[in-house]
Structure 1
């Protein structure tokens, strides 16, 4: 089997966290939100579009339990901007940077990255690929 890329990641969010998810992933981080089938009741989840070939499925549930150090660490998203551009965009959007690293090891080698938390406690690594 020859894998090409990660197609999607599934994350649970609180039932009442849909607007927070749209605001964080869509408005603050600038990713596309695809939620028409969810809003129409056709799917139990909505998508954060990372690229043409990758999404995060967000599943609202009343049984949501925040991630802990023993069951989740982070999801990493490689972006085209430089680390300086990433930090400036996050600052302008009011997103706190939890930590920065000069050269964490990822799928394509070492690249500078920052780590942020979404409204539900998930850590998101944003890696510069510029």
Structure 2
């Protein structure tokens, strides 16, 4: 198998959490929703947020949602093409608390990162594309 990238991540949220997802992923982080109108019209069971041309987050609202409990899920990581200070400023402007900072090793090497939680308890690592000094 010759993998080129991760295509998407699927998360489940509570059925009443759609507007919270839009406020967090679109309004605060800047990811454009896809198929949200089709979801709201009952044509689809999921909607998505576009991270870039090659990656999306699928969101499936469910009646039986259970937030991550730290046993089976730790976090997912995204890489952004902006300095960590710009990321911090955007999060601060959006009122999103940074849980911790890091310089984690990942597929692209070590780089500065911050960790935030979405409204449903999912931990997200936002890592810069700039290598750590």
TM above 0.5, one fold?
A: yes
Q: In structure 2, what is the equivalent of residue 112 of structure 1?
A: 112
C-alpha displacement of 1:2: 0.5
Report the TM-score, using the length of structure 1 for normalisation.
Answer: 0.96
Structure 2: runs of 5 or more not aligned: none
Structure 1: runs of 5 or more not aligned: none
C-alpha displacement of 1:111: 0.7
Q: For residues 34-92 of structure 1, what are the alpha-carbon distances to aligned partners after superposition, in whole Å with 9 as ceiling and x for unaligned?
A: 11321232220110111101001000001000001101100101011101110011011
Mapped partners of 1:84, 1:12: distance in 2: 30
Q: For residues 78-123 of structure 1, what are the alpha-carbon distances to aligned partners after superposition, in whole Å with 9 as ceiling and x for unaligned?
A: 011101110011011111000001x201111001000000000000
What RMSD over aligned residues (CA atoms) do the two structures have, in Å? 0.9
- Matched residue count: 129
Mapped partners of 1:29, 1:8: distance in 2: 17
Q: Which runs of 4+ in 1 moved over 6 A?
A: none
Report the TM-score, using the length of structure 2 for normalisation.
Answer: 0.94
